[in-house]
Amino acid sequence: MSDPLSPALIDQFRRMDTCAVSNAIETFDVRLRNEGFVQRGVHCMFPDMVPVVGYAVTATIRCSTPPPVGHSYADRTDWWNSILDTPAPRIVVVQDVDEHPGLGAFVGEVHAHILRALGCVAYLTNGSVRDLPAVREAGLQTFAAGTSPSHAFVHIVGFGDAVAVAGLSIAPGDVLFGDRHGVVSIPPRIATEVPAAVARMSEHERRVIDLCRSPAFSVDALRSLLANWD
């Protein structure tokens, strides 16, 4: 697996937001503008936390019926070994494949601490989470469709394969970036170029905002500024 996330680059991403990064990615024409991000149905549980960036580690779960063997996630400790095969920082992505996802919560207080100990910075799921104050205290940023007080019959179906969460297809090792607005997938080959693109676009946007706040604002001045947008 390639390793585009140097410590310096990680620090740069933590100073940006997903809206700016999403805009910057569009300038590279590497995918359609309606692709590459989590869509409706998944929300950031802790919007006050700093943005997170990391490599995806994936799994699928079910919650509504008992597992064929065993009773809990602890019966699949082999998944924890698999997590460590991916470089840190890691973002856990779990697709709840039940017909009606979210009956039970896979991650709560205990599993949040386990994932943090395994070098995971965030958890993304189309299902539910629980123990929110304790998960927040553990420092695990969380993106989920909702909450549930119970883990129900939650169990791992599989891991290490591509998953889909809220319209975003995610393969193991994909670079993900998330904050209060949601989660964006970053194509690895442009990852190191994104911060500079964000800076350029921010400067252009600042000019427009400054003009809008200026006594010299006019529609003609705005048209002129936008016509020279480069």
Cross-strand partners of 142? 123
User: In this structure, which amino acid lies at residue 209?
Assistant: I
Mind listing the pLDDT tens digit for each residue in 201-220?
999 999 999 999 999 999 99
8 φ, ψ (degrees, to nearest 5)? -65, -40
Write the pLDDT tens digit of every residue in 172-206.
999 999 999 999 999 999 999 999 999 999 999 99
Domain boundaries, the chain: 7-187, 195-227
Contact 192, 13 (CB under 8 A): no
Please classify residue 148 by burial: count the beta carbons closer than 10 Å to its beta carbon, then call 0-12 exposed, 13-18 middle and 19+ buried: buried
Stated pTM of the model: 0.92
The confidence score (pLDDT) of residue 228 equals 74
Neighbours of 166 (CB within 10 A): 20
Q: Return the percentage of the chain with pLDDT > 70, whole number.
A: 94
pLDDT computed for residue 66 by the predictor = 80
Cβ atoms of 179 and 53 closer than 8 Å: no
Give me the pLDDT at residue 230, please.
Answer: 60
Mean pLDDT (the chain) is: 92
Instruction: Report the pLDDT value the prediction gives residue 71, as an integer from 0 to 100.
Output: 54
Instruction: Please give the pLDDT value at position 77.
Output: 79
The 3-state DSSP class for residue 13 equals: helix
Helix (H) / strand (E) containing 183: strand 182-186
Phi, psi torsion values for 140, nearest 5 degrees: -100, 105
Percent residues over pLDDT 90 in the chain: 82
Q: Which H or E run includes 223?
A: helix 219-227
Residue 88 has pLDDT above 70, yes or no: yes
Model confidence at 227: pLDDT above 90: no
Name the fold adopted by 7-187. Answer: Glucose Oxidase; domain 1 (3.50.30)
The per-residue pLDDT for 21 is: 97
Over the stretch 43-69, which tens digit does the pLDDT of each residue have? 999 999 999 999 999 999 999 888 766
Looking at residue 40, what is its pLDDT?
A: 83
